Amino acid sequence: MKNEIVALVLAGGKGTRLKGLTKKNCKPAVFYGGKYRIVDFVLSNLANSNINKIGLVTQYETVELNHYTSSGKHWGFDGNNSSFTLLSPRQKEEDSSWYKGTADAIYQNLDFLEQFNPEYVLIASSDHIYKMNYIKMLNFLKQKEGDVCLSSIDVSIEEASRFGILSLNDNNQILSFSEKPKHPTSTNASMGIYIFKYKVLVDCLKHDAKNTLSSHDFGKDIIPYLLSKNKKLFAFPFHGYWKDVGTLSSLWKANMDLLDDSSTLDLYDEHSTFKIYSEDTKSLPQYIGPNALVSNSIVNQGSIILGEVNHSVVFNDTLIEEGAFIKDCVIMPRAVIKKGAKIYKAIVSSDVIIDENRIINSEKKEVILVEK
């Protein structure tokens, strides 16, 4: 059966800079925003774009992510004509190997793509918090009659050296690409979201696989190669909230953004046209106790708040005891903050129990992680 577009989501990364949060868990499965995991955003974007043929490419610490995503039902990918497949490295007849880079991860799954025989393939990382309708990007590529489309966002010149930077002509065609340049010449950053014409993707991945000097990375190898072959690459300009949550401080900041009225990320979406889907835990509604004080915060179901919560994001089934105080914190599922404990500017990992009267991070300089 012919399919217009199939999506491959890259979810294999370790996310080393998230430290303890990814000790036994991969980055896409890390919690965010009181209810969600990072991967909910890309998968909800796909669902909302009505792209329902999906491969989730996983490698590092897959157990929790596999369990969580299972049949894709949280995002509706268990519907008719939907297809949701977990693509972990596998033993093959000829050889077996771990994914050596993002491009190699897709190359090793070309047989998966073949069964769909799509016209286009969307490749997206699962490291970012954003809402995007990918069909707009696909239509943009069709209208430009290009081979590949990268979504791009305008960043400040100071940040530009952290990203893959695109230089464009007036028609949004990409003239050159430089990965994390020391001296950036533009502020158009690649968001790590690509739509390829299927044939173009297959050809360049097969070529890349034979290249022993390649690091098999989309940014470092594939995009520069396609530009050198005069393929037509376009940048689809994205406007809106887009945050990388690859470090403890950026994860913390992106959580705090939810408490900021001026933030452009709206999870409360009045008309339910673009919801972010996630697991709905079988929890009771949250209970706020007689002496509690909760302000400038978001709190998920199942939590019992008896103490004071100020400017914080509190996940499901947590317990904040009477006399406990948290400020500028992210409290992950099932954590318990006991009486008299005071925590400032911290991420408290799931299932952590904070002892009575313990004071954490009163200097409030850097964000700290409290783990088991």
Partner 1 sequence: MSRILGILNLHNEKKLGEITSKRSLGALSFLGRYSFCDIPLSNFGNSKINSSCILVKNNFRSIIRHIDASQGYSENSKLGTLYMLYNEKYANEEIYNTDINNLIENKWILEENNFSHVVIAPTHLIYKLDFQEVIKQHEALNSTITVCYKKINNGKKDFLNCDSYLLDETNKLRGIYQNKGTEDAINISMETYVISTSKLLEILEFSKKTSQIFTLRDILNYISTSLDIDTFEYKGYLRCIENINDYFKYSLELLDLNILKELTSSSWPIFTKTHDTPPAKYLEGAKVKDSFISNGAIISGEVDHSIICRSVKIGKNSKIKNSIILSDTQIDDNVTLENVIVDKSAKIIYTKELKGKFDKPIYIKQGDII
Report the C-alpha gap between 69 and 40 in whole angstroms.
9
Identify whether the C-beta of residue 141 lies closer than 8 Å to the C-beta of residue 27: no
Beta strands in 126-163, from DSSP E residues, in sequence order: 128-130, 148-154
Q: State the CB neighbour count (10 A cutoff) for residue 290.
A: 6
Q: Using CB under 8 A, which of 169, 211, 260, 287 touches partner 1?
A: 287
Looking at the Cβ atoms of 40 and 208, the one nearer to partner 1 is 40
Return the number of the residue (225 or 277) whose C-beta is nearest partner 1. Answer: 277
User: Which one of the spans 87-95, 207-215, 290-298, 318-326 is the region binding partner 1 (CB under 8 A)?
Assistant: 290-298
147 close to 232: Cβ distance less than 8 angstroms: yes
Site for partner 1 in 292-331 (CB under 8 A): 292-301, 304, 309, 313-315, 317
Q: Classify strands 188-197 and 148-154 as parallel, antiparallel or unpaired.
A: antiparallel
Instruction: Give me the half-sphere count of Cα atoms (radius 13 Å) on the Cβ side of residue 169.
Output: 8
Amino acid (1-letter code) at residue 224: P
Mask of contacts with partner 1, 223-242, x by CB under 8 A? Answer: --------------------
Question: Which amino acid makes up residue 270?
Answer: E
Shortest reach from residue 286's CB to partner 1, in Å: 5
> 137 or 314: whose CB is closer to partner 1?
314
Neighbours of 199 (CB within 10 A): 10
283 contacts partner 1 (rule: CB under 8 A): yes
Map the footprint of partner 1 across residues 34-53, applying CB under 8 A: 34-35
- Between residue 251 and residue 280, which ones bind partner 1 under the rule CB under 8 A? 267-268, 275-278, 280
70 is a site residue for partner 1 (CB under 8 A) = no
Q: Choose, by CB under 8 A, the member of 67, 183, 210, 282 that binds partner 1.
A: 282
Q: How many residues does the chain have?
A: 372
| Binding flag, residue 288, partner 1 (CB under 8 A) | yes
- Count of C-beta atoms within a 10 Å radius of residue 231: 18
Nearer to partner 1, 51 or 319 (CB): 319
Residue 238 C-beta: closest distance to partner 1, Å: 22
> Nearest distance from residue 47's CB to partner 1, in Å?
11
Residue 115 makes contact with partner 1 by CB under 8 A: no
Cα three-residue angle 372-289-315, rounded to 5 degrees: 35
To partner 1, the closest distance from the beta carbon of 177 in angstroms equals: 36
Q: Which is nearer to partner 1, 250 or 301 (CB)?
A: 301
Stretch that binds partner 1, among 29-37, 206-214, 344-352, 354-362 (CB under 8 A): 29-37
Q: How far is the CB of 331 from partner 1 (least distance, A)?
A: 12
Strand, helix or coil for residue 322: coil
| Minimal distance, residue 108 CB to partner 1, in Å | 33
Element (H, E) at 89: none
Burial 162-191 (b: 16+ CB within 10 A, else e): ebbbbebeeebebeebbeebeebebbbbbb
- Judged on CB neighbours under 10 Å (0-12, 13-18, 19+), 58 is buried
Interface residue with partner 1 among 290, 362, 363, 365 (CB under 8 A) is 290
User: Does 285 contact partner 1 by CB under 8 A?
Assistant: yes
| Residues in contact with partner 1 by the rule CB under 8 A | 33-35, 267-268, 275-278, 280, 282-301, 304, 309, 313-315, 317
